[in-house]
Amino acid sequence: MTTTFSVEPGGALRGDLRVPGDKSISHRSIMFGALAEGRTRVSGFLDGEDCLATLAAFQAMGVPIERPERQTVTIEGVGLAGLRKPPAPLDMGNSGTAMRLMCGVLAGQPFDSVLVGDASLSRRPMRRVTDPLAAMGARIDTGEDGTPPLHVHGGQRLRGFLHTLTVASAQVKSALLLAGLWSDGETCVTEPAPTRDHTERMLVGFGYDLQRDGRRSCLRGGGRLVGRAVEVPADISSAAFFLVGASIAEGSDLLLRHVGMNPTRTGAIDILRLMGAAIEVLDEREIGGEPVADLRVRSAPLQGIRIPQELVPLAIDEFPALFVAAACAEGETVLAGAEELRVKESDRIQVMADGLSALGVRCEVRPDGIRIHGQAAFESGTIASHGDHRVAMSFAMAALRASGPIVIEDCDNVATSFPGFAGLAADAGLGIRVL
């Protein structure tokens, strides 16, 4: 049996809440804490299945990690030379972030290892990271189609390399920088457009010498990381569902606390504001090297827009929710240059288009984007989420502007990024039931 969401139509979102910790930062806090010398204490850790898979992988490689209380992790780092061969394949579950970044970590180890994942992750392309790692001297075997399982051959001598990425990808960039920790010479990565920079910030926070010049980041192998305290802010990708829900539901007034406002992650806020959303940024501050703020969002009439190209990589994970906002906006919304959406947990362009069509929304799919025609309300319907957590949560919010109930199937993987989503959404006013 799989989890199903049944959401009653209408309502508004109100209250004062904090969504779970940032998934990207939680993954990296485990990785850097494990590779550092000394103790790292992580607060605000996302206790979701994706991040717990990363935690379990490092435990399997001999890193002492404890969870003394909810959302708190203590790591006794083993240093860059301290990982041990795992006794079995490392299961990354549903997490593309974990698998791709682990390629960079494992490429420089003296032992062989195998990375596996669930059915969804096992269909996702990995050559975008294994090919540039091979240019550094790594040996990673993929499946016939470039998909997992991945067999990482240990004992390879890695060379520093100058990489110019052709596709903006924080995961690929991060994997290469991680491999650079064990490489001879300098590793530099230049990206075509800004992507989330949590890896770069965390390297510096853990005491590693990283040089940044615009879109270029460089480091030399042979350094050391030093354990530290990490405070994980609330995940802006999880906050995005509530930003959209409150924007489209008349009478909504919602305060979201302690949201991470890294400038490489705020594209969703910029896009919603261009559409006319009423979002206030309050009490801006910096916590552990990451900008944080409280967000107040109230309902507002939205207008369709052509989404600026420069904002696409800054909102890549939030587009399922933004598609729901676009469907409620007056006029047309056009997205282009987002082919990356087709290789996420699902083909998010096609899966979202199919779901919107099932609710009566007219849209046209393109290879790298979509055109969505806004309308007053969604029809009632049943949505196939294809096991994609962001698709499931996006359509749950759509019920706020629906004429009848919306049923969303195959919602198990919501727990990968947002454990407790249904309860928190219900407390805010969404008429959601878990079946």
Task: Spell out the domain ranges in the chain.
Answer: 5-21+233-434, 23-231
Count CA atoms within 13 Å of residue 244 on its CB side. Answer: 30
Q: What is the pLDDT of residue 6?
A: 98
pLDDT of residue 147 exceeding 80: yes
Topology of domain 5-21+233-434, CATH: UDP-n-acetylglucosamine1-carboxyvinyl-transferase; Chain (3.65.10)
pLDDT of residue 404 exceeding 80: yes
pLDDT bucket at 192, cuts 50 / 70 / 90: very high
> CATH topology of 5-21+233-434 equal to that of 23-231?
yes
Give the whole-angstrom CA distance, residue 432 versus residue 356: 19
* pLDDT tens-digit series, residues 362-395: 999 999 999 999 998 999 999 999 999 999 999 9
Q: What is the pLDDT of residue 376?
A: 86
Bridge partners of 382? 407
CA distances from 99 to 31, 187, 340 (A): 12, 21, 17
Give the whole-angstrom CA distance, residue 107 versus residue 150: 11
pLDDT of residue 1 exceeding 90: no
List, in order, residues 6 or more apart from 324 with CB less than 8 Å away. 244, 248, 394, 395, 397, 398
Place of tokens 């969303």: 408
Nearest Cα neighbor of 104 from 17, 180, 19, 200 is 180
pLDDT of residue 154 exceeding 80: yes
Whether residue 317 contacts residue 237, with contact meaning beta carbons closer than 8 Å, is answered with yes
Count CA atoms within 13 Å of residue 142 on its CB side. Answer: 22
387: left (phi over 0), alpha (psi -120 to 50) or beta: left
DSSP strand pairing (332-335 vs 369-373): antiparallel
List, in order, residues 6 or more apart from 141 with CB less than 8 Å away. 150, 151, 153
Number of H helices and E strands in the chain, helices first, is 13, 23
DSSP element (H, E) containing 188 = strand 186-190
State the Cα torsion 325-331-337-339 to the nearest 10°.
60
Q: What is the pLDDT of residue 29?
A: 98
Q: What is the pLDDT of residue 288?
A: 84
* pLDDT tens-digit series, residues 224-278: 999 999 999 999 999 999 999 999 999 999 999 999 999 999 999 999 999 999 9
Q: What is the pLDDT of residue 403?
A: 97
pLDDT of residue 72 exceeding 80: yes
Nearest Cα neighbor of 393 from 3, 1, 71, 94 is 3
Mean confidence (pLDDT) of the chain: 97
Average pLDDT over residues 313-331: 97
Average pLDDT over residues 76-89: 98
The two tokens of residue 257 are 């606390």
List, in order, residues 6 or more apart from 92 with CB less than 8 Å away. 53, 54, 57, 98, 99, 102, 115, 116, 117, 121, 148
Find how far residue 57's CA is from the centre of its chain.
Answer: 19
Residue type, 227: G
C-beta atoms surrounding 336 within 10 Å: 15
Q: What is the pLDDT of residue 289?
A: 87
Q: What is the pLDDT of residue 75?
A: 98
Backbone angles phi, psi at 29, to 5 degrees: -65, -40
432: left (phi over 0), alpha (psi -120 to 50) or beta: beta
3-state helix, strand, coil in the chain (%, to 5): 35, 30, 40
Nearest Cα neighbor of 62 from 43, 78, 81, 45 is 78
Catalytic residues: 317
Topology of domain 23-231, CATH: UDP-n-acetylglucosamine1-carboxyvinyl-transferase; Chain (3.65.10)
pLDDT bucket at 352, cuts 50 / 70 / 90: very high
